[in-house]
């Protein structure tokens, strides 16, 4: 029972804030314009500062970090490749291929993943390193898959702009925040308390802003659009991937915050940015939107289950 309460304490507060955001939108307390502004504030300023400070304060005695980063990068590459191959073979409607392949494996590691870790450990743990290893690959592989899928649908021979992909990775505010933190970490530079407290205070607004914004943008009606492929993608994202990857991670010795970061990498709901990319790259954005809504809604159950299981096995 204690382990179940632990899992509920980690997940329920996060989803209650999302529900609050949805209620606030319906009551007119917040607006669509507010969610756009809060998204920009969280993504461009508050969250990068949080990741920066977590890198700066990372414990230097943790020698398994390189192993962790390599595992995250390899796992991301393998699951994207398999998803692309399987989607091309089994998805009959070829217009859906890009969105299905992306939605099945690309998670909202930073936006929805961070609140869970902070809620459990009080800081982001190894999530910044996971983001550094996985998120650039998320972006690159998603752009490649969506570009190729769109080109196939319209029989276009347009080439993939690899320089644009690389530029998008290194101009990502989250990646910038993480990379800027490493010189301070390696040189053991400590900030005066006045500066560190100010930065931590700014960073602390990222989680509530993101969760309220997610709730405000949430549309339950989208659940019933393209239900069957959305349900299959949701099953892969929330259940199948963690069921395959977590035992491998446990066998390789990952525990506590490292294991939780891996769970977030493979088991977090599909990323909202995937919907934006699908819409702007001539892919099935309706399917992608439905996958985002369905995985976000059902992850309240699956995350509770995975946390309960890992806690029961004394792995967290």
Neighbouring residues of 78: CB distance < 8 A, sequence distance ≥ 6: none
Give, in order, the Cα–Cα distances in Å from 98 to each of 5, 88, 146, 268: 39, 9, 5, 19
The answer on pLDDT for 157 being more than 70 is no
Amino acid 64: pLDDT: 59
Annotate 121-144 with DSSP letters as a single string: HSS-TTHHHHHHHHHHHHHHHHHH
Query: Helices (DSSP H) in the chain: which residue ranges?
Result: 2-26, 32-41, 47-56, 65-90, 97-105, 113-121, 127-153, 162-170, 173-186, 193-204, 206-217, 227-235, 241-251, 256-267, 272-280, 285-312
Cβ(178)–Cβ(136) below 8 Å: no
What is the average pLDDT across 130-135?
A: 84
Q: Please report which confidence band the pLDDT of residue 8 belongs to, taking 50, 70 and 90 as the band edges.
A: confident
> Distances in Å between the alpha carbon of 87 and those of 10, 95, 270?
33, 11, 16
* Residue-range domain boundaries for the chain: 2-312
CA separation (Å) from 86 to 155, 236, 240? Answer: 21, 12, 14
* Single pTM value for the model: 0.79
Which region holds residue 283: left if phi is over 0, alpha if psi is between -120 and 50, else beta? Answer: beta
pLDDT of residue 149: 86
pLDDT of residue 77: 97
User: Would you state the pLDDT for residue 123?
Assistant: 66
What is the model's pLDDT at position 294? Answer: 87
Query: Is residue 25 scored above 70 in pLDDT?
Result: yes
Give the model's confidence band at 242: pLDDT under 50 very low, under 70 low, under 90 confident, else very high. very high
CATH of 2-312, one of 3.40.50, 1.20.1530, 1.20.1300, 2.60.120: 1.20.1530
Radius of gyration of the chain, Cα coordinates, nearest whole angstrom: 19
E strand or H helix that includes residue 249: helix 241-251
Report the share of the chain in percent with pLDDT over 90: 33
214 has a pLDDT exceeding 70 = yes
Residue 155 has pLDDT above 90, yes or no: no
Confidence (pLDDT) at 156:
56
Span 84-113, pLDDT tens digits:
999 999 998 888 999 999 999 998 876 667
Q: Tell me, rounded to whole angstroms, the distance of Cα 227 from its chain centroid.
A: 22
Higher model confidence: residue 220 or residue 313? 313
Q: Which residue(s) pair with 107 in the sheet?
A: 270
How much is the pLDDT for 59?
66
Average pLDDT, the chain: 85
User: Helices 127-153 and 173-186 meet at what angle, rounded to 10?
Assistant: 150
**What local confidence, expressed as pLDDT, does residue 117 receive?**
74
């Amino acid at each position: 029972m204690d382990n179940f309460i632990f899992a509920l304490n980690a997940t329920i507060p996060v989803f209650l804030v999302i529900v609050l955001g949805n209620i606030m939108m319906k009551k007119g307390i917040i607006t669509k314009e507010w969610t756009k502004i809060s998204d920009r504030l969280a993504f461009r300023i508050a969250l990068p500062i949080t990741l920066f400070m977590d890198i700066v304060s990372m414990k230097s005695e943790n020698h398994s970090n390189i192993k962790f980063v390599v595992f995250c990068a390899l796992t991301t590459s393998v699951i994207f490749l398999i998803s692309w191959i399987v989607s091309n073979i089994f998805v009959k409607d070829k217009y859906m291929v890009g969105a299905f392949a992306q939605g099945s494996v690309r998670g909202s590691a930073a936006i929805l993943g961070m609140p869970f870790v902070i809620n459990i450990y009080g800081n982001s743990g190894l999530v910044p390193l996971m983001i550094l290893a996985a998120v650039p690959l998320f972006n690159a592989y998603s752009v490649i898959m969506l570009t190729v899928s769109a080109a196939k649908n319209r029989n276009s021979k347009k080439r993939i702009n690899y320089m644009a992909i690389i530029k998008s990775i290194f101009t990502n505010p989250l990646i910038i925040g993480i990379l800027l933190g490493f010189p301070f970490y390696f040189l053991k530079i400590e900030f005066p308390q006045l500066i560190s407290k100010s930065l931590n205070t700014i960073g602390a607004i990222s989680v509530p802003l993101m969760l309220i914004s997610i709730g405000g943008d949430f549309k339950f009606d989208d659940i019933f659009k393209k239900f069957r492929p959305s349900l299959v993608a949701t099953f892969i994202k929330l259940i199948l991937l963690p069921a395959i990857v977590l035992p491998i991670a446990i066998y390789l010795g990952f525990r506590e915050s490292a294991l939780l970061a891996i769970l977030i990498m493979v088991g977090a709901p599909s990323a909202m940015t995937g919907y934006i990319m699908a819409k702007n790259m001539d892919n099935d954005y309706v399917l992608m939107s439905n996958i985002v809504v369905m995985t976000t809604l059902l992850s309240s159950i699956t995350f509770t289950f995975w946390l309960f299981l890992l806690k029961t096995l004394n792995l967290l």
